[in-house]
Structure 1
Amino acid sequence: MDSPSQTNVDRARLLITCVDRPGVVAAVSQLLYEHGANVVDSDQHTEPDDLRFFMRLEFDLPGLQERLAALEEAFLPVAQRFGMEWRLAPAARVKRMAVFVSKQDHCLQELLWLWKKGELAAHIPLVVSNHPDAREVVAPFGVPLHHIPVTASTKPQAEAAALELMKDHQVDLIVLARYMQIVSADFIERCGRPIINIHHSFLPAFVGANPYAAAHARGVKLIGATAHYVTAELDAGPIIEQDVHRVGHRDAVADLVRIGRRVERTVLARAVAWHLEDRVLPHGNKTVVFA
């Protein structure tokens, strides 16, 4: 995983979605060849249900920054011919990520540690929390924490304050790292940015606030975590990543929580990294992930 300082300034990523038909790959490859680009990585997938085609290309183009606009203009006729939804992103353009957290900081610490080690290609200009507890966690990383308390009566004002911070810091992505507040549909709509959440169960099983107790009561043998995009429907957005861990009859609820935290932080870190590297293409209520 490239850190911002290691990313090739002449490398770009092209993401494409369209109806599958002959000639799509050939047309894209020919255009890039004509402009002197060298494809270094290519992934593609066709959904069998609706024959929707997905493609992710990484390519190097000398002088990319100066030539990007011309390349985008040249690509337009190809995109129109095949009815493509597409996006061209310079790999060196590192996304700005805000992390929201409450009292449990294990996911936050994982993200900050990976970021500090150069293993998470992001800028983290701020952390937002409805509690002050995480201030000591973020301080050694040099990231400011903005404490925005939330109550039932102040929720609209709190969300408005958070939205203003997102605008001020030009945030591209919000990550809910065990942020124990339900973000409203109004916040999601006004935010206009992707929001990734980690849910501490293997969705759609055991939704709600206390899934480990519910899982223990059910006597499950596998517990897990789910990272997904946030939509207006609670815990029902497109899933990016999931993982599980085996448990047994000797494990108490506290054991499930402890084991689950390990799963949560790795699942969230993978989902965030894939989004930052433009590896996730939403498709309705699902995703195609070129990991």
Structure 2
Amino acid sequence: MNHFQRFARKSHKVIRLTKRSLTSLKSHGDYPKTLSPVLIHGIHVFHCPDVVGIVAKLSDCIASRGGNILSADVFVPENKQVFYSRSEFVFDPHKWPRTQMEDDFLNLASMFNAMRSVVQVPVMDPKYKIAILASRQDHCLVDLLHQWQDGRLPVDITCVISNHDRGPNTHVLRFLERHGIPYHYLRTSVANKREPEILELVENTNFLVLARYMQTLSGSFLKTYGKDIINIHHGLLPSFKGGNPSKQAFEAGVKLIGATSHFVTEELDAGPIIEQMVERVSHRDNLQSFVQKSENLEKQCLAKAIKSYCELRVLPYETNKTVVF
């Protein structure tokens, strides 16, 4: 018998033994039926004074419960003695129940005197409830409604409030009626901005969105509401304030247009910036194409800011800045 024949006989014997071993496992019920448990996605953000060992403790908190970190972003500004982080992880809810997770991160927050510690499990936790305020222009409002309908905007829309009376057969009204979203027309004036009524309508929301709402909210409104309000501005702040900004910019011959999404504060268009987008324009643009490009930027910028906020990517930084992971 030559070398090749001896090798073939041994290989055949190994194959038969392997098959018999697998058959034996199956007959005794020992063959694994599932490869892994169902893992759930979680997000945690942390903001605290900077000291040694924060990342190690955060990692240990997740790993000790059987979780696995998918990504971790850390920001420690120079000479500020402050720490920011955002972590995404997966976990087995049977090994790490949601209430236990809350307690674990609460203990970490206490250990490091955290200014902010928020954990989110998107498939378990309720979505943010928002109200949208809009005036005559529809482009931002319609875009948000369509993104919400398609499941790309992770919020529940409680109502739409406007100081512009839309007719009963308009696209917006038909959409809202079809989806059971209330529409409230509140006619405003310089003397009466209907703020008490707005506050009553938005009482149970988590934050507000101003989708080209052409009214200034008072300091009293902001204090009474007490939660975040996200606005979209028609340019790169603070350029071209006031009426008809697109026409102002067009006539000034700008070569770069933009949009800015920011938090609302008492100072007009001066709140912390969340998102900015830009696009080039040229002498070939007329006023119509110029406005169209500007409105497209506004829609994209506002939607991106809302998504970043809902995904816990936005954290306050110093007096009038943000950290956006």
TM-score (ref. length: structure 1) = 0.88
- Which of the residues 215, 226, 237 maps onto 1:192? 226
Map of 1:52-201 to 2, 5 A cutoff?
52-63=82-93, 67-85=97-115, 86-92=117-123, 93=125, 94-133=127-166, 136=170, 137-141=172-176, 142=179, 143-155=181-193, 158-167=194-203, 170-201=204-235
Partner of 1:241, secondary structure, is strand
Q: Does 1:273 align with 2:296?
A: no
**CA displacement at 1:21 relative to structure 2:** 2.9
Stretches of structure 2 that go unaligned for 5 or more consecutive residues are 1-37
Partner of 1:249, secondary structure, is coil
CA deviation digits over 1:155-207, x for unaligned, max 9?
2xx1111110111xx21121100011111111111112211000001112223
RMSD: 2.2
Structure ID, larger Rg:
2
Aligned 8 A contact 2:66 2:96 in 1: no
AA of the residue aligned to 2:274: I
CA deviation digits over 1:22-58, x for unaligned, max 9?
2111011112222232323322222235243211112
Partner of 1:256, secondary structure, is helix
Quickly say closer, same or farther: Cα 1:65–1:134, change in 2 above 3 A: farther
Partner of 2:103, secondary structure, is helix
Aligned to 1:4: none
**CA displacement at 1:64 relative to structure 2:** 7.4
Distance 1:125 1:9 in 2: 31
AA of the residue aligned to 2:72: S
Aligned 8 A contact 1:14 1:88 in 2: yes
Partner of 1:126, secondary structure, is strand
Aligned 8 A contact 1:9 1:91 in 2: no
Distance 1:111 1:289 in 2: 21
**CA displacement at 1:267 relative to structure 2:** 0.7
Aligned to 1:3: none
Aligned to 1:289: 324
Aligned 8 A contact 1:173 1:195 in 2: yes
Compare relative contact order (CA 8 Å, sep 6+) and give the higher one, 1 or 2: 1
Aligned 8 A contact 1:103 1:134 in 2: no
Aligned to 2:293: 259
**CA displacement at 1:71 relative to structure 2:** 3.0
Distance 2:136 2:119 in 1: 38
Identity of aligned residues (%): 39
Aligned positions, number: 279
Quickly say closer, same or farther: Cα 1:68–1:149, change in 2 above 3 A: same
Aligned to 1:42: 72
Distance 2:192 2:79 in 1: 45
**CA displacement at 1:126 relative to structure 2:** 0.9
Greater CA deviation, 178-187 or 68-77? 68-77
Stretches of structure 1 that go unaligned for 5 or more consecutive residues are 1-7
Q: Does 1:218 align with 2:237?
A: no
TM-score (ref. length: structure 2) = 0.79
Quickly say closer, same or farther: Cα 1:9–1:120, change in 2 above 3 A: farther
